[in-house]
């Protein structure tokens, strides 16, 4: 290759890196890890997008007693409301307790949505000659009822206008949430909903805003009421806290795992070689490769999920192998020039890189886009590492050996791929004593691990736990809130969408029919759908005329109530209702309520965009249901009419099914590729079989370890299998090619490649192992399983494989003689 | 000044003694019944609403009937409070062990304690704010000790005749300014009562609701 072309390769790479950096974006949404065409994922995304307020922070407060909790919650709300640059609003008790008059608009709207025949009855009920009897009836109730609800209601509703079908549903839909949303039964636990005054779409605004809110709270806690706050625990949750936690845990994961892996690499390298310059040069190249990989990843993928950032540690652990093998070979053969070493070692590196790259690229077929991204990033990094380490690592370390020797044959491009044919005459020169021990060890491992696997194998976790964020403050506070407020844990969300109100209503009623049937079959326990609250365009159209009549009733109702001994306090709600009807009669199109209270209530289950309307219901699976498969079936039927049933439990089952179904699509080609690379590298049945045996024994060891450690397979770590196959094959390649090169001299092989592979294996295990500390449980389990599998692989390759190779080689020779 | 203070102190002390005597009499009462007029003063009405009724009380149980004909029956049984609306064929059950802690429970406790059997029980729930005698009726004004209880009921007033220590009035003053007062007459002590008075026996066509479990 001419120096001109070589130069342009690097320029091309630099331009690509620059473009990639410009295009690179990060995505903190864990759901983007999951297949976008999965119904449960679509439902969860809609839920997060439209029903978890991106600007709503939830503060929970636990105090020693109910009085303190209520007082301090009120004070905190008041104090936060004063921070108008930070906070738009704080809701710490049912909004209708602070602004009961605002209920009028919502109730008037609910009446306006009733069937015309029901709405028409109001004109009779409020006819001038009926008013007196209605009011007398109210006074009778007020004089004799012992129901606190009746008394509270009728005092402010003398004309009994709150008596309508929709209101029963409203009460049940809010799940008694009037007070339940804000305080525990014993009153010691309170919840405040804080609406931000600033946009919180990104990580940095969330971080800054939460910091400012914490400062406000600290100021209040250290103020005059300092003593009262003693023993009071305040926690933060809600979407802004989750966004900040996910993003910061990504930063932590990245810095910790990359830092830890780099330290381990440096340490192992130092222990093996005790040379500073090659170690520092190696670390510098690794950092360069990591940065370039991220940039090229940005170029290929555009937006990168933060969870995929675990690639960095894995890449470090794997990329270092190529440099170490190279360096070890250079030390073992001081007579060889750098191009000669390249000639000797490049085929092993390139085939190893191809299999590893393929294994990681195969993750794109896993059905999990996040895992696919991780695979693509590692694959890019491995390819880049192979290139960089083969071409750049050695020359600065051995400047005197840079030039080819004069009698050296020229290096052709295919020399990088085809291993030199070495003499095989003295293949079986290994120590028989050592081989015997290694074979005994092989038998013991096979027996021990096999026995464990025969008795019990790791189970499969079908839940969505592997996808859920690990326990941070936000999750802890959310769980505490669910328990304290007595909310049902893990309901399923049903999200119905449509282009307009009529379409949504039709789909809502269809969904209701399916849910009724599911309830009858005890597949679900109960469900709450706000169908009765959804605006009916056709009813509103007819009701406008009646609303116009009712809208003029204000003075008449007022006079009648005053004449019956009521005072003006009793008429606030009635007058608001009448006003809302007057406004409804003048409205055009589908009418929605607009005041603060209505908005606050409706946003819990209604979302509207310029193109679509969404409504959310809750579905509670039966305690002893027919299982997740039946729920998945229900979800399929519901989805046929744009009603998406979703929840973490459903998501886990659906995604695992998808991963399981694709498992063979990933593993079979992977096995074929491994075989092909073994075939191309060795072109001998013996070595191919031995390579397969190493992989097989590693998998048995992995299964035994998982069983003993109590780990189970989940939808993320299942993909460790192709990774272990793809990366594990490298070690058998390196060892067997070295055995061949050195004529089966175990001592030389161990000193050169064996030593290097222990170092490589150690770094790979460190890389995957540090992923095991990821804040994402799925990624962490993937890291742990890979670390064990690859650890087993490298140990078997270095300590047992040479003995097998020697023994098999002798037999082979005896048979062939 | 000093004589006035001395009179006030001695007057207060005598009211305390009368109050103790009333409690002493309560220990000898196994049951009592009475007629009453209930007066509800509500902040949305210019005039208070009055309703006649009857009450039967024995330890841990009572029956209040409100209205003539009866509109509401409140039945306190050992384990529940039942409110029956015969005209509406409706009943509400409040299981006393299912009342969640918090203001609701406090309010229930206050209602129970408003007909106290002994002073110690009463003082666990209330402060004695004042005592005064009017027309041979000693009125004791009590304030709930718990803040959450005071959110519902600001004060409870118990009045009894100083001559025979029979109960004369009970009144609850609510935090919103409204009040509920019972003026009792024809008080009969320790007369055998029909056990059926304290039994539920709801007709099958009644709708029964449990508001606390909704």
- pLDDT score, position A633: 83
The string of DSSP codes covering A208-270 is: HHHHHHHHHHHHHHTSTTGGGGTT-EEEEESHHHHHHHHHHHHHHHHHHHHHHHHHHHHHHHH
Contacts of A178 (CB under 8 A, 6+ apart): A94, A96
- pLDDT score, position A414: 61
pLDDT level of residue B100 (50, 70, 90 thresholds): low
**A67 vs B148: CB contact, 8 Å cut-off?**
yes
Contacts with B43 from chain A: Cβ below 8 Å:
155, 567, 569
Most A-contacting residue of B36, B38, B39, B45 (CB-CB within 10 A), to test interface: B45
pLDDT level of residue B10 (50, 70, 90 thresholds): very low
Residues A549 and A461 in one domain: no
**A66 vs B148: CB contact, 8 Å cut-off?**
yes
- pLDDT score, position A505: 92
pLDDT tens-digit series, residues B141-181: 888 887 777 877 888 888 888 888 888 998 989 888 899 99
Most A-contacting residue of B40, B41, B44 (CB-CB within 10 A), to test interface: B44
User: What does the mean pLDDT of chain B come to?
Assistant: 81
Cβ A369 vs Cβ A33: under 8 Å? yes
The answer to the question of residue A104 being in a domain is yes
Cβ B55 vs Cβ B62: under 8 Å? yes
Nearest C-alpha of chain B: how many angstroms from A175?
8
d(CA A239, CA A728): 41
Contacts with A185 from chain B: Cβ below 8 Å:
100-102
Number of domains within chain A: 3
- pLDDT score, position B105: 64
- pLDDT score, position B15: 67
Question: Which residues form the domain of A729?
Answer: 3-20+242-400+430-466+651-816
Residues A455 and A386 in one domain: yes
Cis amide bond preceding B69, omega within 30: yes
Q: How far is CA A237 from CA A245, A477, A478, A481, in A?
A: 10, 6, 6, 10
CA torsion through residues A352, A355, A361, A362, sign? negative
Closest B-chain CA to A168 = B214
Residues A453 and A499 in one domain: no
Q: What is the CATH number of the domain that holds A764?
A: 1.20.1640.10
- pLDDT score, position A434: 60
The answer to the question of residue A44 being in a domain is no
Residues A664 and A616 in one domain: no
Angle at A402 (CA atoms; ends A397, A404), nearest 5 degrees = 150
Strand partners, A643: A496
Cβ A469 vs Cβ A246: under 8 Å? yes
Contacts with B211 from chain A: Cβ below 8 Å:
147, 149
**Per-window interface: B 189-208 vs A, CB < 8 A:** none
A177: which 2 tokens? 């949430």
Most B-contacting residue of A146, A147, A185 (CB-CB within 10 A), to test interface: A146
**B102 vs A140: CB contact, 8 Å cut-off?**
no
Contacts of A117 (CB under 8 A, 6+ apart): none
Contact residues, chain A to chain B, C-beta under 8 Å: 66-67, 70, 139-140, 142-147, 149, 155-156, 158, 171-172, 176, 183-187, 565-567, 569-570
Cβ A70 vs Cβ A187: under 8 Å? yes
**A155 vs B42: CB contact, 8 Å cut-off?**
yes
Of B193, B211, B173, B213, nearest to B83 (Cα)? B211
Q: Is the pLDDT of residue B129 over 90?
A: no
- pLDDT score, position A736: 85
Of B49, B71, B101, the CB nearest to A186: B101
Closest B-chain CA to A146 = B83
**B102 vs A66: CB contact, 8 Å cut-off?**
yes
Residues A453 and A557 in one domain: no
Residues A798 and A661 in one domain: yes
- pLDDT score, position A416: 64
The answer to the question of residue A476 being in a domain is no
- pLDDT score, position A471: 66
Contacts of B209 (CB under 8 A, 6+ apart): B90, B91, B92, B93
**A143 vs B148: CB contact, 8 Å cut-off?**
no
Residue A771 C-alpha from the chain's centroid: 15
Contacts with B67 from chain A: Cβ below 8 Å:
143-144
Cβ A231 vs Cβ A291: under 8 Å? no
- Residues of chain A predicted below pLDDT 70: 1-7, 28-30, 165-180, 250, 254, 307, 310, 405-435, 464, 467-471, 489, 623-628, 809-817
Residues A624 and A506 in one domain: yes
End-to-end Cα separation, chain B, in angstroms: 60
Q: How far is CA A397 from CA A27, A326, A392, A393, A816, in A?
A: 40, 11, 10, 7, 45
Strand partners, B189: B32
pLDDT level of residue B114 (50, 70, 90 thresholds): low
Q: What CATH number should be reported for the domain whose range is B15-51+99-213?
A: 2.50.20.10
d(CA A155, CA A561): 12
CA torsion through residues B11, B17, B23, B24, sign? negative
Phi, psi angle pair for B53, to nearest 5°: -170, 180
Q: How many A-B residue pairs are in contact by the CB < 8 A criterion?
A: 71
Nearest C-alpha of chain A: how many angstroms from B130?
25
- pLDDT score, position A592: 92
Q: Where are the alpha helices (DSSP H) in A410-472?
A: 432-455
Closest B-chain CA to A135 = B45
Measured from the Cβ of residue A270, the count of other Cβ atoms closer than 10 Å reads 12
Of A386, A404, A382, nearest to A395 (Cα)? A404
- pLDDT score, position A411: 63
B133: which 2 tokens? 């005698």
**Interface check B98 vs A, CB under 8 A:** no
Residues A634 and A695 in one domain: no
SS3 of chain B: the string is CHHHHHHHHHHHHHHHHHHHHHHHHHHCCCCEEEEEEEEEECCCECCCEEEEEEEEEECCEEEEEECCCCCEEEEECCCEEEEEEHHHCEEEEEEHHHCCCCHHHHHHHHHHHCCCCCHHHHHHHEEEEEEEEECCEEEEEEEECCHHHHHHEEEEEEEEECCCCCEEEEEEEECCCCEEEEEEEEEEECCCCCHHHHCCCCCCCCEEECHHHC
- pLDDT score, position B8: 40
Residues A794 and A812 in one domain: yes
d(CA A635, CA B47): 59
Q: What is the CATH number of the domain that holds A497?
A: 3.30.70
The answer to the question of residue A376 being in a domain is yes
Contacts of A116 (CB under 8 A, 6+ apart): A539, A542, A543, A546
- pLDDT score, position A167: 63
**A147 vs B45: CB contact, 8 Å cut-off?**
no
Contacts with A145 from chain B: Cβ below 8 Å:
72, 85
CA torsion through residues A520, A524, A528, A530, sign? negative
Contacts with A176 from chain B: Cβ below 8 Å:
214
- pLDDT score, position A175: 40
Closest A-chain CA to B50 = A143
The answer to the question of residue A27 being in a domain is no
Residue A385 C-alpha from the chain's centroid: 29
**B47 vs A565: CB contact, 8 Å cut-off?**
yes
């Amino acid at each position: 290759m001419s120096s001109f072309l070589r130069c342009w390769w690097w320029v091309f790479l630099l331009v690509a890196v620059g473009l990639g950096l410009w295009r690179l974006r990060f995505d903190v949404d864990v759901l983007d890890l999951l297949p976008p065409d999965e119904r449960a994922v679509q439902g969860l995304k809609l839920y997060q997008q439209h029903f978890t307020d991106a600007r709503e922070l939830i503060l929970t407060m636990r105090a020693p007693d109910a009085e303190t909790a209520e007082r301090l919650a009120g004070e905190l709300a008041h104090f936060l409301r004063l921070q108008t640059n930070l906070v738009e609003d704080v809701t710490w008790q049912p909004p209708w307790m602070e602004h009961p008059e605002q209920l009028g608009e919502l109730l008037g709207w609910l009446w306006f949505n009733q069937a015309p025949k029901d709405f028409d009855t109001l004109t009779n009920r409020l006819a001038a000659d009926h008013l007196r009897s209605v009011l007398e009836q109210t006074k009778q109730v007020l004089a004799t009822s012992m129901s606190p609800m009746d008394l509270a209601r009728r005092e402010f509703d003398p004309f009994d206008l709150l008596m309508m079908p929709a209101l029963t549903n409203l009460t049940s839909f809010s799940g008694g949430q009037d007070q339940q949303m804000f305080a525990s039964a014993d009153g010691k636990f309170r919840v405040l909903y804080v609406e931000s005054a600033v946009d919180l779409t990104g990580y940095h605004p969330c971080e800054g805003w939460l910091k400012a809110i914490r400062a406000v709270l600290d100021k209040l806690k250290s103020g005059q009421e300092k003593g009262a706050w003693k023993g009071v625990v305040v926690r933060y949750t809600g979407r802004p806290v989750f966004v900040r936690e996910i993003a910061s845990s990504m930063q932590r994961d990245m810095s910790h795992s990359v830092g830890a892996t780099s330290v381990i690499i440096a340490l192992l390298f130092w222990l093996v070689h005790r040379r500073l310059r090659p170690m520092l040069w190696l670390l510098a190249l690794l950092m360069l490769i990591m940065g370039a990989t991220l940039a090229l990843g940005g170029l290929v993928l555009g937006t990168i999920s933060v969870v995929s950032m675990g690639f960095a540690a894995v890449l470090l652990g794997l990329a270092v192998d190529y440099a170490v093998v190279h360096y070890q070979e250079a030390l073992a053969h001081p007579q060889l020039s750098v191009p000669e070493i390249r000639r000797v070692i490049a085929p092993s590196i390139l085939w190893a890189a191809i299999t590893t790259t393929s294994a990681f690229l195969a993750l794109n077929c896993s059905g999990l886009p996040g895992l696919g991204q991780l695979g693509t990033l590692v694959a890019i990094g491995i390819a880049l590492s192979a290139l960089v380490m083969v071409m750049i690592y050695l020359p600065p370390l051995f400047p005197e050996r840079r030039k080819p020797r004069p009698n050296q044959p020229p290096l052709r491009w295919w020399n990088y791929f085809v291993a030199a044919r070495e003499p095989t005459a003295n293949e079986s020169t290994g120590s028989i004593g050592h081989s015997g021990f290694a074979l005994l060890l092989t038998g013991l491992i096979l027996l021990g691990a096999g026995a464990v696997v025969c008795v019990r194998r790791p189970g499969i976790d079908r839940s969505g736990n592997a996808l859920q964020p690990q326990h941070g403050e936000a999750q802890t506070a959310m769980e505490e809130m669910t328990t304290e407020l007595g909310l049902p844990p893990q309901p399923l969300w049903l999200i119905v969408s449509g282009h307009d109100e009529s379409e949504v209503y039709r789909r809502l009623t269809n969904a209701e029919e399916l849910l009724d049937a599911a309830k009858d079959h005890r597949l679900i326990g109960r469900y709450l759908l706000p169908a009765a609250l959804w605006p009916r365009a056709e009813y509103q159209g007819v009701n406008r005329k009646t609303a116009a009549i009712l809208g003029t009733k204000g003075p008449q109702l007022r006079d009648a109530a005053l004449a019956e001994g009521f005072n003006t306090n009793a008429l606030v709600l009635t007058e608001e209702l009448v006003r809302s009807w007057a406004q409804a009669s003048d409205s055009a199109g589908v009418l929605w309520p607009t005041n603060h209270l209505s908005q606050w209530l409706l946003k819990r289950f209604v979302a509207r965009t310029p193109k679509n309307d969404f409504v959310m219901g809750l579905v509670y699976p039966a305690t002893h249901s027919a299982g997740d498969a039946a729920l998945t079936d229900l979800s399929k039927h519901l989805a046929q009419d744009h009603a998406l049933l979703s929840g973490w439990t459903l998501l886990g089952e659906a995604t695992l099914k998808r991963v399981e179904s694709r498992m063979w699509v990933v593993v079979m080609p992977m096995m074929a590729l491994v075989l092909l690379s073994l075939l191309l590298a060795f072109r001998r049945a013996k070595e191919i079989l031995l390579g397969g045996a190493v992989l097989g024994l590693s998998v048995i060891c992995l299964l035994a370890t998982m069983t003993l450690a109590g780990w189970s397979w989940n939808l993320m770590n299942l993909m460790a299998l192709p990774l272990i196959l793809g990366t594990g094959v490298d070690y058998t390649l390196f060892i067997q090619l070295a055995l061949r090169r050195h004529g089966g001299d175990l001592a030389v092989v161990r000193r050169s490649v064996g030593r290097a592979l222990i170092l490589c294996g150690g770094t790979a295990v460190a890389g995957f192992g540090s992923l095991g500390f990821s804040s994402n449980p799925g990624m962490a389990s993937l890291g742990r399983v890979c670390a064990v599998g690859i650890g087993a692989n490298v140990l078997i390759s270095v300590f047992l494989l040479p003995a097998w190779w020697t023994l098999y080689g002798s037999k082979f020779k005896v048979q062939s003689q | 000044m000093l004589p006035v203070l001395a009179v006030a102190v001695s007057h207060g002390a005598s009211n305390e003694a009368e109050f103790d005597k009333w409690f002493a009499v309560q220990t000898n009462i196994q049951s009592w019944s009475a007629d009453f007029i209930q007066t509800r003063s509500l902040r949305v009405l210019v005039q208070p609403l009055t309703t006649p009724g009857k009450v039967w009380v024995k330890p841990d149980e009572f029956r209040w009937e409100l209205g003539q004909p009866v509109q509401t029956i409140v039945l306190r049984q050992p384990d529940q409070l039942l409110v029956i609306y015969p005209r509406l064929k409706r009943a509400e059950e409040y299981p006393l062990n299912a009342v969640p802690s918090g203001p609701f429970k406090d309010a229930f406790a206050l209602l129970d304690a408003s007909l106290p059997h002994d002073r110690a029980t009463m003082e666990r729930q209330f402060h004695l704010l004042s005592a005064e005698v009017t027309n041979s009726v000693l009125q004791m004004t009590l304030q709930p000790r718990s803040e959450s209880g005071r959110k519902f009921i600001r004060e409870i007033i118990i009045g009894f005749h100083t001559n025979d220590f029979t109960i004369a009035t009970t009144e609850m003053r609510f935090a919103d300014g409204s009040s509920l007062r019972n003026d009792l007459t024809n008080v009969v002590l320790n007369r055998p009562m029909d056990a059926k008075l304290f039994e539920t026996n709801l007709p099958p066509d009644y709708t029964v609701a449990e508001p606390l479990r909704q």
